[in-house]
Amino acid sequence: MLSAQQLQIDGRRNDLLPPTSLEASRGEILLVSGDGQDQRTALALALSGRMKPSKGRLSWDNSVKIKKVRAASALIDAPGVNEPEQHLSVRDLVTEDLALIPRRYRGALLSTPWLKVNRFEDIAGLWIEQLPADRRLELLTALALADPALDLLVLDSPDRHSADPADWLPRLEQLAYDAGRPLAVVAVVSALPDNWDGPAAVIGNSVQHAAPAEGTETLEAAEPLEEAQEDPEEVPAILQRTAK
């Protein structure tokens, strides 16, 4: 299970990520809403172990070691971080991504047979910018899951490619509820779909706007993260500036 308690990322003037708490288990999809793209990307980076929070506690299966969070997770399509370049063809993207799979799992993964086995032959010759929102998401999540060690998917703003939840929500539900490989799926979105009645959270849900009344219980201080590392190459420039 993924657990975040009062995760916060300081900015130069305001919080890049205000204190946020949430939980997501395998076999579950959690939607987290937030207004600003910078906040959504910061949360996605933190939840996937790609950015060091200033405060708070993050754990995966009760381990607070950030290496375990990162090894178990995939960050999908974060703007300015790892979204595919628009000039790439689907075939080239597949070739590049398969080369990143850990060697012990890679085997003889080649783009042509992979595209055929995973039923993407119809889009192999297209540019990334030509893909419909639903096929784009199918492709990116399938590529991430070529690594069998992954149990957690964190998606950054899948709704930015389509305002219609039918173009992205069914795929996420399919992945979370797959009996053969149930995943913990967290999608950080600009707004929850109108009919969504599943697990949900809001960025900044741990912000305390006023001192609690006497006798009111409060959350205990979160434990610090262990071995947290920030990889500058994976953090967009705006996040690097505000997180200093």
Q: Quote the DSSP letter at residue 143.
A: H
Question: Residue 13, Cα to own-chain centre: how many angstroms?
Answer: 25
Structural domain for 50, as ranges: 2-85+150-242
Beta carbons of 229 and 52 less than 8 angstroms apart: yes
Dihedral over alpha carbons 227, 230, 233, 237 (to 10 degrees): 180
What total number of domains does the chain contain?
1
> What CATH number corresponds to the domain at position 68?
3.40.50.300
pLDDT band at 65 (very low <50, low <70, confident <90, very high): very high
Beta carbons of 150 and 134 less than 8 angstroms apart: no
Question: Residue 191: which H helix or E strand, with range?
Answer: none
Q: Is residue 192 part of a domain?
A: yes
- Residue-wise pLDDT for 174-225, tens only, equals 999 998 999 999 999 999 999 999 999 999 998 654 444 444 333 333 344 4
pLDDT band at 240 (very low <50, low <70, confident <90, very high): very low
Tell me: pLDDT of 68 over 90. yes
Q: Is residue 218 part of a domain?
A: yes
Q: Is residue 143 part of a domain?
A: no
CB atoms within 10 A of CB 138: 20
